[in-house]
Amino acid sequence: MASAFRSPTRLIFVFGVMVLCSVSPVRSWSKEGHILTCRIAQKLLEAGPAHAVENLLPDYAKGDLSALCVWPDQIRHWYKYRWTSPLHFIDTPDHACSYEYSRDCHDQHGLKDMCVDGAIQNFTSQLQHYGEGTSDRRYNMTEALLFLSHFMGDIHQPMHVGFTSDEGGNTIDLRWYRHKSNLHHVWDREIILTALKEYYDKDLDLLQEDLEKNITNGLWHDDLSSWTECNDLIACPHKYASESIQLACKYGYEGVKSGETLSEDYFDTRMPIVMKRIVQGGVRLAMILNRVFSDTHADVAAT
């Protein structure tokens, strides 16, 4: 918590496969996953919060939140930001397939609140001070926005809430089709890149279009209200983390052994889960930003 630190047809067809088939190393969504999450979120912002987000972004971002959504990964090993490294994930007891904040949210030294759930709570809390304007110098609001946006992606990647002994699948070495990889990286990037290659001619914009069509009037339209249900912004990340470890157990680890080759069967049944989690991260990030940056705060200076 804050006290610890400062074409629809293409995609729907693929999703149909899931329905039929299913009746410290770097630990983060790939850049593609984070870009998609932040693009989806920014498009769902109301006018006031959208202005606040643009106000907080540096000029070189040109108002595009997704341009900086990978920043927390780029700086996590810098001396100044080394403390943020454990904030990208949660290690849970092996095979428990459950998440408990008091038990699991800590770093490798046992420091409480140092996990992705605690980070989201902290940076959400910081952004709630945005309305206090330039007189409040306790927090760097731009950094808080970028960390929150990134960590909302991370907490929705199922293997970011994985087992302790294998570091969320990072030590489970295997092959993805014909090349070497590991289970964590399969969920971070391999599935996304394979989907882009197989269905979208490696065009991220086309994938984004399909995801957004399934939000507005497609597969997930009726789920939006349940996804964004949140009575307490500080407590809701607990639910997102619990969802991820349950998905990690059911779809990530299930049937996977070190040294084996994962290919079509794994891709076909897991890709829909990856896409849904990317979208859920974006929808929920938008919900948080819309509530934090209410219209009453929209015109406050960012510095």
Task: Determine the pLDDT at residue 71.
Answer: 97
Task: Determine the pLDDT at residue 3.
Answer: 40
| pLDDT tens digit sequence for 75-123 | 999 999 999 999 999 999 999 999 999 999 999 999 999 999 999 999 9
Task: Determine the pLDDT at residue 134.
Answer: 55
- Higher-pLDDT residue of 285, 28: 285
Query: Is the model's pLDDT at 6 over the cut of 80?
Result: no
The residue-averaged pLDDT of 268-282 equals 98
User: Which range in 30-34, 59-63, 137-141 is most confidently predicted, on average pLDDT?
Assistant: 59-63
Distance CA 116, CA 114 (A): 7
Query: Is the model's pLDDT at 302 over the cut of 80?
Result: no
Distance CA 60, CA 197 (A): 30
Note whether 32 and 203 are within 8 A (CB).
no
Residue of 156, 185, 188, 190 whose CA lies nearest to 172: 185
- Higher-pLDDT residue of 39, 137: 39
Query: Is the model's pLDDT at 11 over the cut of 50?
Result: no
List of E strands, the chain: 90-92, 161-163, 173-176, 179-182, 261-262
The token pair at 244 is 């991820």
Task: Determine the pLDDT at residue 105.
Answer: 98
Note whether 220 and 296 are within 8 A (CB).
no
Q: What is the mean pLDDT of the chain?
A: 89
Residue 224 makes CB contacts below 8 A (sequence gap 6+) with 215, 283
| pLDDT tens digit sequence for 132-156 | 765 556 789 999 999 999 999 999 9
Task: Determine the pLDDT at residue 298.
Answer: 52
Task: Determine the pLDDT at residue 33.
Answer: 97
- Claim: this prediction has a pTM higher than 0.85: yes
Q: Which residues pair with 262 in a beta bridge?
A: 176
Residue of 146, 143, 141, 130 whose CA lies nearest to 292: 130
- Higher-pLDDT residue of 290, 4: 290
Place 218 in a pLDDT band, splitting at 50, 70 and 90: confident
Query: Is the model's pLDDT at 290 over the cut of 50?
Result: yes
- φ, ψ at 102 (rounded to 5°): -65, -30
Distance CA 287, CA 227 (A): 9
- Please state whether 266 falls in left (phi above 0), alpha (psi between -120 and 50) or beta: alpha
Give the range among 24-28, 177-181, 215-219 with minimum mean pLDDT. Answer: 24-28
Query: Is the model's pLDDT at 194 over the cut of 60?
Result: yes
Q: Does domain 2-297 bear CATH number 1.10.10.1800?
A: no
Distance CA 143, CA 146 (A): 5
Task: Determine the pLDDT at residue 132.
Answer: 79
Task: Determine the pLDDT at residue 148.
Answer: 98
Task: Determine the pLDDT at residue 131.
Answer: 83
